[in-house]
A and B are shown apart, each in its own frame.
Chain A
Amino acid sequence: MPVRFCTEENMQSESTVLQTDQTVTKSGILKKAFRAAFPYTIPIFAGFWFLGITYGIYMNVSGFSFLYPMLMSVTIFAGSIEFVTVNMLLGAFDPLQAFAMTLMINARHLFYGISMLDKFRGMGWKKFYLIFGMCDETFSINYTADIPEDVDRGWFMFFVTLLNHLYWFSGATLGGIFGSLINFSTEGLEFVMVAMFVVIFLEQWLKEKDHMSSFLGLGISLVCLTAFGADRFIIPAMLSILAVLTLLRRTLEKKEGGIVR
C-alpha cells in the first residue's frame, strides 16, 4: 500500500483503508522510527561525548579555536582520522599525504559499504546521508539492529545516523569551548566503545548458525595486531580477512544460510 499523507479530517473518512493514524501519517512514521532508533544510540551518546569532548580539548590545547573541532566533526565525522588531522594541521602542508593517510586509516569503510549495498537499496535521498554518515558505530547498529516490522527502515537508519552525528558534533564543540574546565574523573569511560563492539559482535554471534567468519575476524585481526602493531595492523588485517574469506568461499557457501539475514 502506498504511504498516504492526509490531514486529520481525511483520516476519519478513510479509516476503513487506514489502520490507525499512528502508522500512516508522516509524523507518525517519523515518531515511531525515532522511538525505535533512539535507545540504540544511548551508549553511543556516552561514548561520543567522551571521545568528542576529548577531541575538542585536544584541539583546544593544540591551539585551535572551537570552530575547528566544530566544523571538522560535522564534515569529516570519522573519529580516529580527526585526531590524526590535528597533527597534520600542525605539520607541514602536504595535501596528497593527507589524502593518502585518510584512505589508509578509513579503508575499513569499504567493507561497510559492501555489506550495506542491499540494505540501502531504495532509500531515495536518505541514501546519500546514510552513506556520508556511516561511521563504525552507525554501521554496526544499522547492520545488526532488529528493526520491528512496522517501523520504517529508512527513517530508522536515518535517525541512528543523525543522532550519532549530533552527539559527535556537540561533544567536539563543547570540548573545544569548555575543554579545559572539565574536572571530574571520567577515567575508564572510553571502555563504553569496547563494550559496545563486544555486544555487537555477540549479537551477530547469537544470530548466526556458523561462526567461522566471526572467528576469522577476531583471529586474523589479533594476529595482525601482534605482528604489525596498533598503528598499522588494519590494512594487513583487512587484506588477510579478504584473502581467507575468498579461499574459504566454497566451504562457507556450502553452509549457506549460515548467517541468518
Chain B
Amino acid sequence: MTLTQQIITVAMVVLGTAVTRFLPFLVFPSGKPTPKYVQFLGKFLPAAVFGLLVIYSLKDVNVFAGSHGIPEMIAILLVIILHVWKRQMLLSIAGGTVCYMLLVQLVF
C-alpha cells in the first residue's frame, strides 16, 4: 500500500468511527423534541449496554480450554464482594486486577 492509500484507509476508519458517534446527535438534534420511543431507549438501553460491555470484555475467555475461565470467575467474584462491601470504585478494580494477575502468573 502506498502512503496515500494508507492515509485514505485510516481516514475511512476515522470517518466510520465518527459516524457511529455523531449519528444519534445529528438525527435527534437538541432543538427538536426527541421521539418518545428514542427517549424510552435512552432510559433503558444503558443498563443493557453495561451488561453487553461486561460480556464483550470477556469475549475471548475460553471456558472449554486452558484455565476454563476460573481465574476470571474468582476475580470477578472478588470485584463484586469488594464493591458491594466498600463501594470504592478504585479499590474494587485494583483488588480484582491484582487478584487476577496473581492467579494467572502464579497459580494457573
Contact = CB atoms under 8 A, between A and B. Distances in A.
Contact of B50 (A118, A191, A214, A219): A214
Among B8, B10, B75, B83: residue with most chain A CB under 10 A: B10
Contacts of A238: 52
Interface residues of B, number: 68
A139 B15 CA distance: 19
Interface string B1-38: 10001101110111111111111110010100010011
Contacts of A199: 79, 83, 89, 92-93
B75 to A, nearest CB: 6
Contacts of A198: 54, 76, 79-80, 83, 96
Contact of A217 (B13, B47, B57, B96): B47
A258 B48 CA distance: 13
A203 to B, nearest CB: 8
Nearest to A118: B42
Interface string A72-99: 1001111001100100110011011011
A222 B55 contact: yes
B33 to A, nearest CB: 11
Given A75-B10, A98-B12, A187-B104, A200 B53 contact: yes
Contacts of A187: 101, 104-105
Contacts of A114: 24, 28, 38, 41-42, 45
A108 to B, nearest CB: 7
Interface stretch (A20-28, A39-47, A168-176): A39-47
B66 interface: no
B61 to A, nearest CB: 9
Contacts of B79: 195, 198-199, 202
A229 to B, nearest CB: 9
Interface string B82-108: 011001011011101100111111000
A211 to B, nearest CB: 8
A188 interface: yes
Interface string B65-83: 0000001100110011001
A3 interface: no
A113 B46 CA distance: 10
Contact of A99 (B12, B58, B97, B105): B12
Interface string A189-207: 1011111111111111110
Nearest to A253: B40
Interface of B: 1, 5-6, 8-10, 12-25, 28, 30, 34, 37-38, 40-60, 71-72, 75-76, 79-80, 83-84, 87, 89-90, 92-94, 96-97, 100-105
Given A110-B23, A187-B105, A259-B43, 12 more contacts: A76-B17, A103-B16, A108-B49, A115-B49, A131-B21, A144-B50, A188-B71, A193-B57, A195-B92, A202-B84, A217-B47, A217-B52
11 contacts: A76-B17, A111-B45, A111-B46, A117-B42, A127-B25, A201-B54, A206-B84, A213-B44, A216-B48, A220-B51, A220-B52
Interface of A: 39-40, 42-43, 46, 71-72, 75-78, 81-82, 85, 88-89, 92-93, 95-96, 98-103, 106-118, 120-122, 127, 131-132, 134, 136, 140, 143-144, 185, 187-189, 191-206, 208, 211, 213-222, 225, 230, 233-234, 237-238, 241-242, 245-246, 249, 252-253, 258-259
